[in-house]
Amino acid sequence: MTEELCRLTAVEQAALIRGREISSVELVRAHLDRIEAHNPAVNAIVTLAPERALHEAHDADRRLARGESPGPLHGLPVAHKDLHLTAGLRTTFGSPTLADHVPDSDDLVVERLRAAGAITIGKTNTPEFGAGSHTFNPVFGTTCNPYDLTRSAGGSSGGAAAALAAGFQPIADGSDMGGSLRNPASFCNVVGMRPSAGRVPSWPSTFGFSGLSVQGPMARTVSDVALTLSVMAGPDDRSPIALTTPGETFRAPLERDLTGLRVAWTPDFGGLVPVDPDVLAVLGRQVTAFEQLGCHVDDACPDFTGADDVFRTVRAWQFAQAHGALVDRSTEQVKESLRRNVEQGRALSGEDISRAEALRTELFHRMRGFFTHYDVLLAPVCQVVPFDAALEYPTTVAGTVQDDYLGWMRSCYVVSAVGNPALSVPGGFTADGLPVGLQIIGPHRADLTVLQVAHAFERLTGHGHHAPAL
């Protein structure tokens, strides 16, 4: 019964609680039992708070019994990414320098999930300060892929994706600078969405007016992602770029007739990105699904010239600003790649940063022009299949040597550079049974379109129904 309950969608679990068919306590206990049984092998949940969770669940049941109107996430257990502040619950950022850090306030995204009725059960693992798309750190170790425990779960929201795939929680929060919601979703056969900038307001935030990183939802289905986004999204006066569209917009049914939709497919971003043949073999078969849905599909790609320069320059500058003081204080306690990123950021000139911002604007307008001809762009999420978890990162992709730990993430970060909404949806499996995600990219702020297209593909193909055998 525990596994069956934990495998229900978030929409289904929430409906059972609202209908008094199960209690919040029952649901939380079922997930805690599953975490106890399988998390030691997966290492997705790194700070567990069972007593707090059960106390909150009892309170949720009492409020429902009194006739209080339940929030859309009432009684659903959630472990928050360990980069997100959680009041009274340890938040380490995966770093020895903050191993005992207990915040006194919540991040805005956590605040909104809890206000909607979600119950905090713990934290999910992340690389140190979210640097990299493979989840390991010296505080908690490595998160393993539930589909193959010798493989990476991706990152930096790797703990969240692995927890979803393993049935430890029905929804998750995460963040995405260079692919940190999409990459682990692809590796773990779940859904991860990078929303448009300002769709999910961030607070506290070092870069309130601009930046590469956004926060967003993950779940096992597109509908569950939309439900979670409906709670995360919406205006907030603490964010200067928060979009005014109400979050409830994303709670509407996602069904849409895709007949006539103009779809572009690029296997390699116009030759910019090397991709493993195993990935392309899986995704190449999925393009026909859109033809079955009535779409017009072309091989086409925007001009991503300059996207590398934009992402790497802006990212290095932001790392220097956000983490430079910590690196100075604790040089030997932070990983070498983080130190190098800070050094790269400090070496930048004002001319370097202004050039990157100008390129970013040019890229935006090229993307805007491309989407006058197409409604969505399809592409690989990841350039490789889930790799050996003992590696720091793949050093070659399709025979091409990668200069650093960012190179193999290019298929995600070139999209981050321009800020369009993008989502990873389960796209099938390799002959070895490893998940492969399909990336669906939409026009500027067309988050709902991306969700609708992903929902139609998900319903037709059903790849997300294949759960790992833990």
The answer to whether the beta carbons of residues 443 and 419 sit under 8 Å apart is no
Distance of alpha carbon 426 from alpha carbon 439, whole angstroms: 9
Cβ–Cβ < 8 Å for 190, 427? no
Annotated catalytic residue: which of 133, 180, 186, 424? 180
Give dist(CA 382, CA 133) in Å, integer: 10
Cβ–Cβ under 8 Å, residues 119 and 56: yes
Give the pLDDT score at 1: 66
278 assigned to some structural domain: yes
Q: Of residues 24, 156, 196, 424, which has the active-site annotation?
A: 156
At residue 332, the pLDDT reads 80
Q: Do the Cβ atoms of 272 and 304 come closer than 8 Å? A: yes
Q: What CATH number does the domain containing 342 carry?
A: 3.90.1300.10
Give a yes or no: residue 391 inside a domain. yes
Residue 293's domain comprises 2-465
Whether 277 is covered by a domain: the verdict is: yes
Domain membership flag for residue 198: yes
345: which 2 tokens?
């950021």
Please name the residues in contact with 415: beta carbons below 8 A apart, sequence gap of 6 or more: 194, 379, 422, 439, 441
Residue 180 is among the residues annotated as catalytic for this protein: yes
Sign for the CA dihedral angle at 446, 448, 450, 452 comes to negative
Averaged over successive runs of 10 residues, the pLDDT of the chain (470 residues) comes to 91 98 98 98 98 98 97 98 98 97 98 98 97 96 98 98 98 98 98 98 91 95 98 97 97 97 98 97 96 98 97 95 90 86 96 96 98 98 98 96 94 97 98 98 98 98 96
Let me know if 223 is a catalytic residue.
no
Q: How far is CA 171 from CA 80, 219, 222, 444, in A?
A: 10, 5, 11, 25
Instruction: Indicate whether 470 belongs to any domain.
Output: no
Return d(Cα 259, Cα 22) in angstroms, integer. 40
Task: List strand residue ranges (DSSP E) for 269-412, in order.
Answer: 296-299, 376-380, 396-397, 400-401
CA distance 283 to 447: 22
Domain count, the chain: 1
Strand duo 45-48 + 119-124: pairing: antiparallel
Q: Does any domain span residue 226?
A: yes
Q: Quick check: is 19 in a domain? A: yes
81 is annotated as an active-site residue: yes
**Residue 181 belongs to some domain of the structure:** yes
- Residues 417 and 275: their CA atoms lie apart, in Å, by 19
